[in-house]
Structure 1
Amino acid sequence: MSVRSEAWTIYRQALPVLLVSLAGGLFAGLILEDMVEHVARFPGLLVMIPVFLATRGNIYGALGGRIASGLHQGVIEPAFERNDRLVNAVVASFVNAIGISIVIAAITWAVLAGLDREVAALWELVAIMLVSGVLTSVVLIAGLLAIIFAGFDRGYDPDNLVGPIVTTLGDIFGMLFLLLAVVSVEVLA
């Protein structure tokens, strides 16, 4: 295969997914705009949002890379069936995502308190990050697996799909579940 035809194949496979990712990013921005009224109630929330979204991308981008490599090597089949490699990768990603969600809240609280800045209660920030972290992780795992498996079955290179899928699902559902968590914690507080 020539360099030109290889480049065209990558472009053809990636462009539609990138366009969906663009639309997803805009939708996530609309959700963020709806959160503005809630941000004042939880000082420190805006500090956590970029870190939260970035860690979703890092953790689930790594998971997607492991899945893509497993598919290329033939050690993972593109099906929802028991596979120890897949289960271990998913569990590790889930535990990592939940743990880092709590760390984000704790570090944000500590830094803002240390800088003598207004900050919500630690339990509020932890609750927001925990709820949104768990819900986003479930959606990212299911969505990532479903889309990569379906794409692989249709001849798409999973390496061309992982980045845009993780970004789009992470941004949309990360913001959506952050809003849900904020509203839930407002009710409890």
Structure 2
Amino acid sequence: MTTAWTIRAITRATLPILLVLTLVELGSGLVLLGFEATLLQYPSLLILVPVVIGTAGNLGSVLAARLSTALHLGTLSFVDETLLGNALATVALALTMFPAIGIGTWALAAFTGGSRLPFVTVLLVSITSGVVLAVISVLVTVLVTYAAYRLRLDPDDVVIPIVTNTCDVLGVLVLFAVTQLLV
């Protein structure tokens, strides 16, 4: 793929995407606003929100960077060991990160006097939300990376903003859904 590395070309490719994603983020804020009563009732969930969506976005971003590099190098095809290995590594990383996030969230909430949820509940909400988001992040990252490449857009320019914004929106929705199931 030949790409013009100019400010104008990058702006032309990314500005429309970023404008649409800004509107998507507003939607995420509205969903979070609807979740406000539950967050205020259980402060440990309030602590969990930015950490869960941020970590899911980071996992997707790392995967996006790895897949974009593999596409540029010509070492990635639609379904191969590189893709499968990176996807499994992302989910495995989530399985190690989100228990630590749950423990840290509960400890911080307990330390500040805001923990009203039992330790096991906070841990289960963190792990379940994290793993679901990791799987969603993998799917979104793979689909957006291939779509960008097929549309002759540089995946390095467009995939990470799309993945992180998607993880923000879906992170709030998944956390809310998991909380409804477990609390």
- Judge same fold: TM > 0.5, yes or no: yes
Residue range with higher mean Cα deviation, 129-138 or 24-33 = 129-138
Shift of 1:35: 0.8
Aligned to 1:48: 48
Aligned to 1:130: 127
Shift of 1:5: 6.8
Which string of whole-angstrom CA distances, capped at 9 and with x for unpartnered residues, describes residues 109-164 of structure 1?
12232344434211111121122212222221111111110110121100011221
Matches within 5 A, 1:4-83: 6-77=6-77, 79=78, 81=79, 83=80
Contact 1:24 1:171 in 2 (8 A): no
Contact 1:136 1:174 in 2 (8 A): yes
Matches within 5 A, 1:153-168: 153-168=150-165
Contact 2:57 2:137 in 1 (8 A): no
1:120 correspondence with 2:102? no
Task: Provide the rounded CA distance (Å) in 2 between the counterparts of 1:12 and 1:182.
Answer: 40
Give the residue type in structure 2 aligned to 1:91.
Answer: L
Contact 2:54 2:168 in 1 (8 A): no
Segments of 4+ in structure 1 off by > 3 A? 114-119
Aligned to 2:106: 109
CA RMSD of aligned residues (A): 1.7
Contact 2:52 2:129 in 1 (8 A): no
Shift of 1:171: 0.6
Contact 1:105 1:129 in 2 (8 A): yes
Task: Provide the rounded CA distance (Å) in 1 between the counterparts of 2:88 and 2:148.
Answer: 23
Give the residue type in structure 1 aligned to 2:59.
Answer: I
* Equivalent residue in structure 2 for 1:89, among 64, 68, 86: 86
Residue range with higher mean Cα deviation, 27-36 or 106-115 = 106-115
Question: 1:27 and 1:98, CA in 2 relative to 1: closer, same or farther beyond 3 A?
Answer: farther
Stretches of structure 2 lacking an aligned partner (at least 5 in a row): none
Give the residue type in structure 2 aligned to 1:65.
Answer: A
Shift of 1:64: 0.4
Task: Provide the rounded CA distance (Å) in 2 between the counterparts of 1:53 and 1:157.
Answer: 25
**Aligned sequence identity (%):** 27
How many residue pairs get aligned? The number is 180
Which string of whole-angstrom CA distances, capped at 9 and with x for unpartnered residues, describes residues 12-54 of structure 1?
1111221122112111111111111212442311111111122
Aligned to 1:170: 167
